[in-house]
Amino acid sequence: MSQFSQLTKQLKTPLTDTKKADFLVHINEEHQDELAMFIQAFANVVTDETTQLRLTEVYKEGLDLNVYSQATTKPQTYFLAFINPIEQITELKDQYIALMQKAATKLGKKTIKLEEQSFTLVDSHYVSRHMLRLVLIAPSNTPLTHAGYAYLFDLTTPKMAVTHQTQTDASDHNDTRQHCYYTLRRAWHSPLIQNTEDATIMAWVDVYIHGDTPGGNWARSLQVGDSIKSLREYPEKIEHLSHGQCLLIADETSLPTVARLLETWQNPTPPIIIAICNHADDITYLHNIRLDSDLCLTHISEQAQIIPIINDDTQDISSSSPSLTERIIAKLTAYEQQTDVKIDKVWGALEVNDTKELRKALKSHLNLPRQNMVLKVYWRRNAS
């Protein structure tokens, strides 16, 4: 049974692999919420904004997790045993996911699911200049209301393998990877098949098309009737947005999550949205939502304030130009001064380096507890 232990004499064999350091940095920087879930589920320790959590070592048998709090002069080290010991780094992700699933189940939370699903393409069309919508027949267990629910699609289905590297799932560093996460934009019951009493689940998956990328090439190549496969699925962390003044920050890769948030918005305070697009034409994407009074506070969703940031990718940007983070902070500061608004919660998803820089800037600017500021990595910019 997986559990935390403070026994220091337990036999532990450090994993020797150069990629181990990358794993530790990634989890410590991007997945503090999961570490908090581990410590709560397995050690009954509830964290707050003053608690610092850090993975310090990977063993064949499990992980060392240090917990720093104001009440203690030195960190407490807990050992989290894997369900099955590992022999090499390639087995690490599966065991980490298994621990996430066990912790989430114990706490009654949704988490990643390692389950293959099959979708069938019914239609595809552009809903803004660069956003291609895939209309799909979806599995019967597809969630209908969870904004940001994502599927890891196999880009080798239904045709020959894609040979390029994808720009998503920043925790992976395998250059031959042939899969990509895309968000479920919307799902609903539809009596698509005639002469049957069973309603079919239909779904939209919106793919941002930007040049020669594996995901974009895959989406454009799909034909009506094609069967495509997903390998796993992951629910976005949005529970903290249920009350308070929320700020949503998204680029084209995360606008589908924001659009669905607006369609399911139950918070009595309208959100503020900073929408980042390379082309002004794509801002219209957020104007094409379908409000349903059964799912959202319709009048509140309509009052959402959209603050656009437009990048003209046909122009050269000099080194002296403000960074994306600087532009976001400037826009936010101006809006705060004009409206005297106070931000209580943040959700955002951007490129990995932009996310890291923005997280630091917003922490200083807003001084929010960690659990109230969720900034996710949705993609990785090519180095070339």
- The C-alpha torsion from 277 through 28 and 25 to 18, rounded to 10°, is -130
Domain ranges of the chain: 4-107, 117-234, 240-379
Contact, 131 vs 207, CB < 8 A? yes
Strands 76-81 and 4-5: antiparallel
**Domain 117-234 classified CATH 2.40.30.10?**
yes
Which residues, in sequence order, are CB contacts of 340 under 8 Å at separation 6+? none
CA distance 98 to 43: 17
Contact, 247 vs 343, CB < 8 A? yes
- Which neighbouring-strand residues pair with 53? 67
Q: What is the pLDDT of residue 101?
A: 92
Q: What is the pLDDT of residue 172?
A: 42
Contact, 236 vs 253, CB < 8 A? no
Would 4-107 and 117-234 be classified into the same CATH topology?
no
CATH superfamily of 4-107: PNP-oxidase-like (3.20.180.10)
Which residues, in sequence order, are CB contacts of 335 under 8 Å at separation 6+? 272, 305, 307, 341
**Domain 240-379 classified CATH 1.20.1600.10?**
no
Distances (CA, A) of 58 to 10, 30, 219: 14, 17, 38
Of 258, 346, 361, 352, which Cα lies nearest the Cα of 301? 258
- Which neighbouring-strand residues pair with 126? 132
CA distance 95 to 81: 10
pLDDT one digit per residue (tens) for the chain, 384 residues: 344 554 444 678 999 988 999 999 989 888 888 999 999 999 888 887 778 899 999 999 999 999 988 777 788 899 999 999 999 999 999 999 999 999 999 999 888 888 999 999 999 999 999 999 999 999 999 999 999 999 999 999 886 444 443 334 433 434 444 899 999 999 999 875 544 456 799 999 999 998 888 999 999 999 999 999 999 999 999 999 999 999 999 999 999 999 999 999 999 999 999 999 999 999 999 988 887 777 788 888 889 999 999 986 544 555 578 999 999 999 999 999 999 999 999 999 999 999 999 999 999 999 998 889 999 999 988 744
Contact, 109 vs 34, CB < 8 A? no
Distances (CA, A) of 27 to 20, 87, 214, 231, 369: 11, 20, 26, 22, 19
**What does the longest C-alpha to C-alpha distance in the chain come to?**
70
Q: What is the pLDDT of residue 163?
A: 41
Q: What is the pLDDT of residue 380?
A: 86
